[in-house]
Amino acid sequence: MPPAPRILLVGAGGLACEVLKNLVAFDISHLSICDFDKVEHSNLNRQFLYAQADVSRYKAEVAAAKVRALAQNRFTVSAHVAYVQDLAEALFADHDVVVAALDSISARSYLSQLCVAHKKPLIDGGSTGFNGQALLLWAAAGTECYSCSPKPRTREIPACSVRGVPHKPQDCVIWAKFFCSSPSATSCGSSVTSFRRRSERQSFTESRLFEYLRFFKVVVCSTLSHKR
């Protein structure tokens, strides 16, 4: 009987939580979990491995601890806090199967290239809009690498990658687009004012979000008004 495989999971978000739940029931010898993100409040409604007490802790470390407890030490688990581009190539050589649970096309493409170089099978899962997909990418099985297949030309930002509190310019644009149904400043002001009233009765995080929106909606609405 061949030895139980060593699994490398890259990503510890919503999809990874489902993958980890299933891996606990598998016959594996070791599991490595890689992710650089920390747990945020906005993750708790869909990433069930994390709880309120885990907020601001690294996902990879929290997930590794939870899986150890669930597996009751039937296999070893290690956590790696790093971006996929910073992972040592030796880590790939030390595993039998790589599983990708990423929302970045560039990260998935880079991971696919490493798996091709090290002749490792890559199981890639992800979503585009309301559609999900799972692929086996393995040269030995005659499949294309991730970069070899054509990709949509339209630049899209996965909804799951937009943070609850804006951290990047594109986060602010998406939030502003959501609350500003019309390019007129009047409509924007009305939408944000309505949101402020709701936020005063809700959580601290949403109140903070309003402060970001109030600042950014002035810029967005002014820009849209000039382009009309």
Write down the catalytic residue from 34, 115, 145, 160: 160
> What is residue 206's DSSP assignment?
H
How many residues are there in the chain?
228
Does the annotation count 160 as an active-site position? yes
136 DSSP β-pair partners: 123
Dist CA 21 CA 50 (whole Å): 13
The β-bridge partners of 125 are: 101, 134
Q: Is 92 left (phi over 0), alpha (psi -120 to 50) or beta?
A: alpha
In a 13 Å sphere around the CA of 113, the CA atoms on its Cβ side amount to 9
Count the alpha carbons within 13 Å of 175 in the hemisphere toward its beta carbon: 26
Which one-letter amino acid corresponds to residue 7? I
Residues with active-site annotation: 160
